[in-house]
Amino acid sequence: MWVWADLYSVKNKLGKGDGGLTYAELSYPLMQAWDWWHMYNTLGIRVQIGGSDQYGNITAGIQAVKHIALHHPTPEFPKKTTEPPFGLTTPLLTTSSGAKFGKSAGNAIWLDSTMTSTFDLYKYFLGTSDGDVGGYLKQFTFMPIEDIDSLLEDHIKNPSERKAQHKLASEFVELVHGEKAAKATAQEHRDFFQNKITTSKLPAGLCYIQNFELMAIVRVPSCTTVLTCF
């Protein structure tokens, strides 16, 4: 409990005097620490990896696991390992505006194609701003730096073609789902936005609404009709 009270986020919140802590804020690090103890004890999981904003929760979990393992009244605990736990944090992925990726930020994407289709994954990175695309190419692809710099120089000449964003989307989909899926998805996007694709050829669960020059992709249970809005 003293470790939890020493967390910077907790001390900062209590120091503001603006209403204290919610139950969720109070219980979150405790539940996360107990969850780690369960995995450490039953599965032998010694490492927890998280974003840098999870540093306090991870260090609190390390202390909790060590304390429980040392003072547990049952001799056979822990069951799977007696090696010490440790944590690893990584810098947060953020946009140029400082917004982070994640469920809490409402912009999470999934590597599982049943959660985020290859079409949606491609579309997500295709929407990357010009200010972010260079950094993402360096973070999310294995392209040589000189190739990225050359691509960005070419992109600046005609940003509306979104060459850098298409390359980012294609490289990321290939990295996660393979070359065949990346090529097929890139072709779907080209056909779709050039009005060469019908709803029967769209990925399952997708349709689009065309409003003059504005197109929007809409996810629905089933889609058999192209709607034109006036």
- Among 116, 111, 119, residue whose Cα is nearest residue 207: 119
For residues 193-221, one letter each, b for 16 or more C-beta atoms within 10 angstroms of the residue's C-beta and e for the rest, the string is eeeebeeeebeeebbbeeeeeeeeeeeee
pLDDT value at residue 76:
72
Q: Yes or no: say if 87 and 47 are a contact pair by the CB < 8 Å rule.
A: yes
**pTM (2 d.p.):** 0.64
pLDDT by residue for the chain (230 residues), tens only, comes to 545 555 556 666 666 666 677 778 778 888 999 999 999 998 999 999 998 888 888 998 999 999 898 888 886 777 788 899 999 998 888 877 777 776 666 677 888 999 999 999 999 999 999 999 999 999 999 999 999 999 999 999 999 999 999 999 999 999 999 999 999 999 988 888 776 555 445 555 454 443 333 344 444 444 433 333 32
- Among 215, 188, 221, residue whose Cα is nearest residue 118: 188
Complete domains list, the chain, with CATH: 2-90 (3.40.50.620), 96-197 (1.10.240.10), 203-230 (no CATH)
pLDDT value at residue 212:
33
